[in-house]
Amino acid sequence: MDHRISRWAVVEEALNWVGTPYRHQSSLRDVGTDCLGLVRGVYREIIGPEPVEVPAYFPQAEYGEGELLWSASMLNLVPAGRHVEAGNILLFRMRPGQPARHLAISISDAEMVHAAHGRRVARINFHSWWRRHCVARFDFPGVENE
């Protein structure tokens, strides 16, 4: 991939998803999405077709085998630095000892956009609880540091 993507393009597109209803395994802006669908939809809008077909998966509240979301992120995204930057994809482990099962997109080092079960996509503070549960940060391929 030769084209470069601005972090602000990621942020702008993530903000376009605010208000989208929660819908498990969906990824359609203004129609329905879950946390993975949010990342998938933003990817499609700023990069193009998704690199892989996503198989059926459990809701975040249920637990399947291993670190599937982390492994898929390592294969399809670019690991980011230690500090949160605008446009990062954030991966969360919601409970100790359980697989990482939640994604969000940072819009700054203090805010993020995420889809939570039973709620609409929202812009929220990236406060201490979220920081403690964040286990990895990624960028979309082609995102450049400005």
Number of domains in the chain: 1
pLDDT at 67: 87
Task: For residues 111 and 105, give the distance between their C-alpha atoms in angstroms, rounded to a whole number.
Answer: 9
pLDDT at 146: 60
Task: For residues 102 and 112, give the distance between their C-alpha atoms in angstroms, rounded to a whole number.
Answer: 13
Task: For residues 67 and 100, give the distance between their C-alpha atoms in angstroms, rounded to a whole number.
Answer: 6
pLDDT at 138: 97
Domain hosting residue 124, numbered range: 5-144
Please report, for the domain that includes residue 75, its CATH number. Answer: 3.90.1720.10
* 72 alpha-carbon distance from chain centroid: 12
Torsion of CA 85, 107, 103, 41, to 10 degrees: -120
> 7's torsion region: left (phi>0), alpha (psi -120 to 50) or beta?
alpha
pLDDT at 65: 65
Phi, psi of 127 (to 5 degrees): -85, -175
pLDDT at 96: 87
pLDDT at 1: 46
Q: Which residue numbers in the chain have pLDDT < 70? A: 1-2, 58-65, 146
Task: For residues 128 and 130, give the distance between their C-alpha atoms in angstroms, rounded to a whole number.
Answer: 5
